[in-house]
Amino acid sequence: MFRLHLSDKDKETFTKARTRLCQEYHVTDLEQREVTSYIDEISKFSILGQGEETIFCDGFRLTYEGRSAFMLAVCNRYEQVSTGAEGQVHRNSIDNTFAVVIFDLFIDLGHVLIRPESLGDKISEFFSPTEVDFPEHPEFCSRNYVLSKDHALLKSSATNAFLELLGGFADLHLEILDKKALSYRPKNINIADISDLAKLSLVLPGTL
């Protein structure tokens, strides 16, 4: 992964979001060594693997009551291939720029994926059940599809507060690798998503 400058519009939005977060959290710039570190960290998560490549654009650190999180603007770059009337191949690069947040958990949950449940997930689950289910939390289950390498560990560790907090966020994608978590919404950079991701990253660790 390498670094790419945000467009003027996305840069303005990311800056406005940062300014608003300063009213609730302590916000500081990332040092170059941290940029390098988190470029490496992002590459470990499979949940961002939709594009041909994921490119780091910008970022800052959030701190609240002794907890820290790293808000990053990244770009997933896709290659769209089409064929013309005479058989010629056209290739176009499409960039999707959005915010992700990386933060630490206090306990090791192994490898966990939580994302919005699709119709395909429902069909697959009918024929081959693999999802971790939390029947006592219907709102969370109705919105999310949960996969874990260790079902027992996740079910024993996921508190009511953890599930209720996640259940309150629509269209959220979350991946946990041991004690490290990454979350995002697959929408173009916007202030509301960045605000939600900041809250999630600084509150969620305290629910476990």
Task: For residue 95, tell me if it sits in a domain.
Answer: yes
Q: pLDDT band at residue 126, thresholds of 50, 70 and 90?
A: very low
Mean pLDDT of the region 186-191 = 90
Tell me: pLDDT of 117 over 60. Answer: yes
pLDDT of residue 106: 92
Task: For residue 133, tell me if it sits in a domain.
Answer: no
What confidence tens digit (pLDDT) does each residue in 135-147 have? 888 888 888 889 9
Mean pLDDT of the region 175-200 = 93
The whole-model pTM stands at 0.83
pLDDT of residue 45: 86
Task: For residue 35, tell me if it sits in a domain.
Answer: yes
- Structural contact between residues 43 and 56, judged by C-beta atoms closer than 8 angstroms: no
Mean pLDDT of the region 93-115 = 89
What confidence tens digit (pLDDT) does each residue in 35-80 have? 777 777 787 888 776 556 778 889 999 999 889 999 999 887 666 6
Task: For residue 147, tell me if it sits in a domain.
Answer: no
- Structural contact between residues 194 and 200, judged by C-beta atoms closer than 8 angstroms: no
Task: For residue 156, tell me if it sits in a domain.
Answer: no
Tell me: pLDDT of 89 over 80. Answer: no
Average pLDDT score over the chain: 84
> Can you give the residue range of the structural domain that contains 44?
1-103
pLDDT of residue 23: 95
Task: For residue 186, tell me if it sits in a domain.
Answer: no
Q: pLDDT band at residue 5, thresholds of 50, 70 and 90?
A: confident
Question: How many structural domains is the chain composed of?
Answer: 1
Task: For residue 144, tell me if it sits in a domain.
Answer: no
Q: Which residue has the higher pLDDT, 158 or 140?
A: 158
Neighbour tally for 58: CB within 10 Å: 22
Task: For residue 48, tell me if it sits in a domain.
Answer: yes
pLDDT of residue 50: 54
pLDDT of residue 121: 55
